[in-house]
Structure formats: C-alpha cells, structure tokens
Structure 1
Amino acid sequence: MEKFSTSSLLNMNNLSVTKSNTLIDASYKLNVQAQKLVLACLGKVDSRKEIPKEMTITALEFSELMGIPNAHRELYLATDALYESTISLREGNNDIELRWIQRKSKKIKGLGSVTITWSDEVLKYISTLQSRFTSYKLRHIAELQSSHSIRLYELLMRFNSTGERIISLKDFKSSLGLSSKYPLFKDLNKWVIKPAVSELNQRSDLIIELETIKKGRTVTALSFTFKQNKQLKLDV
C-alpha cells in the first residue's frame, strides 16, 4: 500500500502525472476535486515501475499537493464521486466502459485518509510506454478551479511537442463528458470553452490561442495553438 512521504510533499514541483493517451482522450466527467484526487495519486507514481493497485492519501497531503481547503470533507466527497464515475473509450473498433476504482474507497476518519483501489482496466492505461503517454507537472494544474480546465490542459499536453491541436467539436464535448449538453455552440463557448482557456492562461503554465473552424456558419472544430511559459506565472 503506497503512502506519500514527507519528501514527496516537499518536492511537489517535481511530481509529474502520466496517463495513457487513450485515457487522455476518453470520455468522462469528474468534478474538480475528484479530478485532483486522481492526479494527486498519479503524481506520485513512477511510470517506469509497476503501478500499485492500492494507494492511500491523507487529507493533509491532498491539501498540500492540490491547494484544497477543508480537505477532509473534500477528500471524502472526491472518493465518493470517483466511485460513481465511469470512463468511456474506444479500443480498436470497440467502445468500452470501465470504472476508475474497483470498490468504494476505505475511509479512515481518525487519520483523515482514504485508500483507493484502481480497477484492473484503468491500471493497464497507466502504463510504462513513454512514447504513448502524456506527462505534465502536477504543480501546473494544482491551482485550477474548474474540471473543464483540467481536462483541456490534458487534451492539449498530449500535443505538447507541436504546440497545436485541432479537435472536432464532437470529440471535444465527448472528452469533457458533455456530449448531451450545450447543443448551441454559443452556450458551450460561453460556459465551457472561454472560461477554461481564460483560467489556463491565468493559472497554468500554458499560453493559449483559440480559433474556430467552420463549415458554412456552423462551428465544427476547435484549433488550439499553445506554448509553455518557461516560468510558471503563479511563481512570479
């Protein structure tokens, strides 16, 4: 069973998150605290080694790693949300649905900690093949307040080597778990896209520009160009 060490907390700037690119582009929707719980756990994993099936994190660690006040309550709520959530992804010609965690998390209230058990299916996507994976520093998303911002950051960082990504509107909405919402682009843009881009420009290490791609008068895709700020803006 894995636990954070004091040295891990002191070296948060060096923690990276690594996910399968298939998982990055999968369709799922988690609230921001559940997203941060997943990322905090993955941030401690050395992707070159075997991934532990069980991982324990305390409220203090969660608070220090992700900048979350009232961390005891948020940690418990995040684990409950994670248990209720599924991931939809495409593997070859097959659409599959899987769970993040195998069973309800064990909560140790006296210690303010939870133990999560990854599902076997998720474990295989948090793997060791670096060429197929996207890594980013945990500190670059720790201050983000929106789950949409975190997902957009992940979608862009998959193409960090080129600094460009074009994604169809359909795939964008699917990745954020919004396929059945915001049928009008103006609403999606107002409530999801613009706020996410704005928050990333303000709070992350990315500088993003966005253009829409249209077929006639209809927006069909989003074209992002981005670069990393060498000095994280939060450190200035």
Structure 2
Amino acid sequence: MNNYSVTKSNNLIDASYKLNVQAQKLVLACLSKVDSRKAIPKEISITALEFSELMGIEHNAHRELYKAADALFKSSITLVDNNEEVELYWVQKKVKKLKGQGKVTLVWSDDVLKYISQLRSRFTSYKLRDIADLQSSHSIRLYELIMRFNDTNIRKISLEDFKAALGISDKYEQYKDLNKWVIKPALKELGKKLDIEVTTLKTGRKITALYFTFSDKKEVQQELDLQQR
C-alpha cells in the first residue's frame, strides 16, 4: 500500500463543499503527488493507472477517473478565512481528459492554491492509504475533520458546522435522520481503522454539537503489545 501523504490548510479541512467519493479521491490523489511545503504546479496530471493504484480501484478506473473529473469542475468550496466567508473553485477550467492516454490534467484555481501550496502552519496531514478504501464521501470528510485534532484525539464541532462541512446543510433536519443516514454509516466504515465514538451535546432540548473521541487501532494494539512484553 502507498505511503503518500495528503496535506491541506485547516481552512480547507473545515470548509463546506460537496463532492462525490471519487471526486474527493481525485483531489486527494493529486495532492499526495506534490510537496505542499513548496510551490505546487498550477497543472497536475494523473493517469487511470495511478488513480487505481493509489486508491485501490480494481475495476473501471478510467471511467471513475473521468466521472470524478467532471464532478470536480462543477464543485465550489465555501470557507472562512480571517473571519471572512470566501467561495472558490477547485479548478480553473474543465478538467482535460486525455482518453487515449487514460489521463486527466487539472488546472488548480488561483484561489485554491493558497490552501494547498507552500503551507508552513495551520495545516493537517494524513496518509492517503488511510482513506483509499473508504466508499463514502461522508466517511472521508469525517476522517479529515477529526484528523485535524489528531494531537488530542478529541473533536467538538457544532451540528451546523458538521453538516456544512459535509455539504448537507439543507438536509436531515431531524437529528435521528442525520444519525441514521450519515453519522452511523460513517462511524461504521471508519471503525475498521479507528476506535471512534460520538456523543451529542444539547442546548436545552436541542442537539447542537457533536463530540468525537477517537484513537488509531494500530497504535492502540502496538501499545498493548509493548505492555505484554
């Protein structure tokens, strides 16, 4: 399995956007190919073979790559920077598909480069392999949201911000529906990698925030192994 890392500014981690799972993986695969501490080239290409190997896609990698590219072009990002709400786009123009070569070329927007290039502080990094086999876009976004607090293994987030980050602000008005269709499936999928639990916090009788506690199962097992020696 690959050992590449993905790095984003914390503003982008907490941003509001909605991408399908393959479009998210396309962004992350491209980010894993560059060094975010340096100036990132405005254009980046990735082949279907690379996409397949990085993300463990066994079938129809070409088709999934092209579908991801189409979705990426249509998606915007809303984030807060210096207390100002900003809307920007991932790519500057429609992703170029080189079908004969099984490859796509992305042209990052000038705005998004600020949040993925020459990062020196306030960023989050994680291993690409840790999200490669996730099948839900919600699972990927939840993983990113909690990894921002990997130093404490605790993340408190308002319900409003959580829904915005997953691009579902206009859905699941009832918490029971959000829990059934989004939170529980994401926790189940992430449970293969993490010991993760969620507690709801209320203001009055209304649920207004979520409190995630988590730990890496591999790290916990390593600690147990050391204690037993």
For Structure 1 versus Structure 2, the TM-score category normalised by the shorter chain is over 0.9
Aligned match for 2:18, one of 15, 21, 29: 29
1:53 is the counterpart of 2:42 = yes
Alignment of 1:122 with 2:122, yes or no, is: no
Structure 1 partner of 2:172? 182
2:81 aligned residue (91, 99, 115): 91
Instruction: Assess if the C-alpha contact under 8 Å between 1:140 and 1:232 holds in 2.
Output: no
Is residue 30 of structure 2 the alignment partner of residue 41 of structure 1? yes
Equivalents in 2 of 1:192, 1:81: separation in Å? 21
Aligned to 1:5: none
1:232 CA drift (Å): 10
Match of 1:74, SS state, is: helix
Is 1:136 matched with 2:131?
A: no
Q: CA deviation at 1:209?
A: 1.2
What TM-score results when the alignment is normalised by the length of structure 2? 0.92
Quote the Cα distance in structure 2 between the aligned partners of 1:118 and 1:47.
14
Q: Which runs of 5 or more residues in structure 2 are unaligned?
A: 222-229
1:20 is matched with 9
Take 2:33 and 2:50, find their aligned partners in 1: how far apart are those partners?
11
Task: Rate the CA distance shift 1:187–1:180 in 2: closer, same or farther, 3 A.
Answer: same
Q: Which runs of 4+ in 1 moved over 2 A?
A: 127-131, 229-233
CA-atom RMSD in angstroms: 1.5
Q: Which amino acid aligns with 1:138?
A: L
What do the CA deviations read for 1:11-32 (whole angstroms, capped 9, x no partner)? x532000001000000000000
> How far has the Cα of 1:127 moved from its partner?
2.9
Unaligned 5+ residue runs, structure 1? 1-11
What is the letter of the counterpart of residue 41 of structure 2? P
TM-score (norm: length of structure 1): 0.90
Identity in percent: 70
Number of residue pairs the alignment of both structures matches: 220
Moved more, 133-142 or 215-224: 215-224
Deviation at 1:231, TM superposition (A): 6.0
